[in-house]
Amino acid sequence: MSHANEPESLTEIDGAELYGREGQRYMAEPEQVAAANAALYLEMPLLLTGEPGCGKTHFAWAVAWGLHRQRVPRAVYQLESAPQPLVCQVRSDSRARDLLYSYDAVRRFGDAQHGGDAGRIRAADARQYIELGGLGRALMDTTRQVVLLDEIDKAPRDLPNDLLNELDVGDFEIPEIPSALPDDVMRQLPTVVESHGIALARHMRRPLQREVSPPRRLPKPLVIITSNVERQLPDAFLRRCVFFHIEFPSRERLTQILRDHLCDTLSRLQRDVGTGGSATGNELRVIAQRFMQTPSRAPGNGNAPANLQRSTPADDPEIARAFIEALLDLFLRLRELALTKRPATAELIAWGKALLAGRAAMAQAMTLIRAAQAMADAKAPPDGATLFAQLPHVGCLIKLREDWERLRPRASSSPLLPA
């Protein structure tokens, strides 16, 4: 048996191989991984902020896989069997109780009134109508789980404060379960009623680690809380969290993200160009080669997507490089405009996927690269409205009407892109 003064194995995740909700690689900064490991060690929630679409939610899936890899070092990632975080969807009417458990009073009333003798016996036992929520399950689980409380700033103002004790101690109470029942009623009820394999009781206590002497509580789950900072969270709640703000990624990191998310669709485009022999494909190849001939685009510099050719076929790797470079040139230029809502990483990925989808992929890739080339050739920064209004699928980037109006071409504007 272990003793209290013996060192414990440190639980931490390795940021080298993390995966998001859809099975794509999650590119976490070392500081973000370090914040998650600090939260694991301190048994405190991890509060993440950042632009909408920056990957706050997906980080819960990445950490769930990281913890699994810590327990099973040789595990190989497979989307269909990958560990999942326990997700608590926070809404404007959510209560702290909803995250811990739910109580079906209507079904209990129906059993008591219309369920006959069996229904009346069942209705005497409140445990039959309790289901543990994501946070409640994780607090009582003997295996350390990851819990996601998504967009907590949308919750009622009292919800964060109502969770202080549960997040601090790890215990909670289910007041619908009575402390005691008459003996004749107790004899008709099952000894144990479970929800998700966890025995229900009025006072839910975090499990003990009995293999050590003296026994101690098992580590609390890692609770990942995301916020878009629509309103300030209470100071008492913030004091109990490890905080990390996800900055907008560098161009190099965006290149890595796009390379991973667009690998399959870029491979298909390259195959179509290499085997189709169409005039559009040949023209796309020429335009991509010209676009990549500038010194700043040469392989090996800071802007080129390094090692892209290892992720895609070697038929026309310059098309993949040119597409990603053009996509980033235009996206980063758009973020410089005076928009009410600037597009974030999620919008960038969606835009790239939309451009490469369907039969128009070659033509749309050509339009994109031409636009970036025209912007690079311009002696002065081009007018944003003239530039972006002519690009396909701008609705993947622009989500507000006032921004859409801002990008509409003016009557006096001449086309930036060749017809």
Dump pLDDT digits (tens) for 133-185: 999 999 999 999 999 999 999 999 899 999 999 999 999 999 999 988 888 78
Are 366 and 283 spatial neighbours (Cβ–Cβ below 8 Å)? Answer: yes
Predicted local distance difference test score (pLDDT) of residue 388: 78
Is 98 contained in some domain? yes
Is 419 contained in some domain? no
Same domain, 114 and 191: yes
Are 66 and 263 spatial neighbours (Cβ–Cβ below 8 Å)? Answer: no
Nearest Cα neighbor of 325 from 372, 278, 383 is 372
Same domain, 183 and 326: no
| Helix/strand/coil for 341 | coil
Question: pLDDT grade, residue 337 (50/70/90)?
Answer: confident
Predicted local distance difference test score (pLDDT) of residue 374: 86
HSE, CB side, 13 Å, CA atoms: give it for residue 359: 1
Q: Which tens digit of pLDDT belongs to each residue from 36-87?
A: 999 999 999 999 999 988 999 999 999 999 999 999 989 999 999 999 999 9
Same domain, 363 and 226: no
HSE, CB side, 13 Å, CA atoms: give it for residue 242: 19
Q: Which tens digit of pLDDT belongs to each residue from 198-239?
A: 999 999 999 988 777 788 889 999 999 999 988 889 999 999
CA 419 to chain centre: 40
Residue 310, pLDDT above cutoff 80: no
Same domain, 216 and 264: no
Question: pLDDT grade, residue 391 (50/70/90)?
Answer: confident
Same domain, 311 and 350: yes
Same domain, 190 and 41: yes
CATH of the domain at 186: 3.40.50.300
| Helix/strand/coil for 270 | helix
Same domain, 14 and 161: yes
Same domain, 266 and 169: no
User: Which of 246, 278, 304 is the endpoint of a domain?
Assistant: 246
Residue 297, pLDDT above cutoff 70: no
Is 412 contained in some domain? no
Predicted local distance difference test score (pLDDT) of residue 270: 83
Rounded to whole angstroms, the Cα distance separating 147 from 139 reads 9
CA 392 to chain centre: 27
Question: pLDDT grade, residue 305 (50/70/90)?
Answer: very low
Is 33 contained in some domain? yes
Predicted local distance difference test score (pLDDT) of residue 47: 97
Residue 115, pLDDT above cutoff 80: yes
Is 54 contained in some domain? yes
- Taking the alpha carbons of 328, 331, 337, 338 in that order, is the dihedral positive or negative? negative
Question: pLDDT grade, residue 298 (50/70/90)?
Answer: low
Predicted local distance difference test score (pLDDT) of residue 311: 42
Total number of domains constituting the chain:
2
Q: Which tens digit of pLDDT belongs to each residue from 354-365?
A: 999 988 899 999
Predicted local distance difference test score (pLDDT) of residue 414: 46
Is 418 contained in some domain? no
Which H or E run includes 137?
Answer: helix 134-140
Rounded to whole angstroms, the Cα distance separating 31 from 37 reads 10
Show the 3-state SS of 296-337. Answer: HHCCCCCCCCCCHHHCCCCCCHHHHHHHHHHHHHHHHHHHHC
| Helix/strand/coil for 401 | helix
Rounded to whole angstroms, the Cα distance separating 136 from 97 reads 9
User: Residue 112 is part of which domain span?
Assistant: 2-246
* 102 or 387: which leads in pLDDT: 102
Same domain, 198 and 226: yes
Same domain, 236 and 262: no
Same domain, 92 and 214: yes
User: Which of 246, 265, 284 is the endpoint of a domain?
Assistant: 246
For 230, 322, 351, the CA distances from 27, given in Å and listed in that order, are 26, 22, 19
Same domain, 240 and 256: no
Q: Token match 């878009």: residue?
A: 228
Is 271 contained in some domain? yes
Question: pLDDT grade, residue 385 (50/70/90)?
Answer: low
User: Which of 218, 246, 274 is the endpoint of a domain?
Assistant: 246
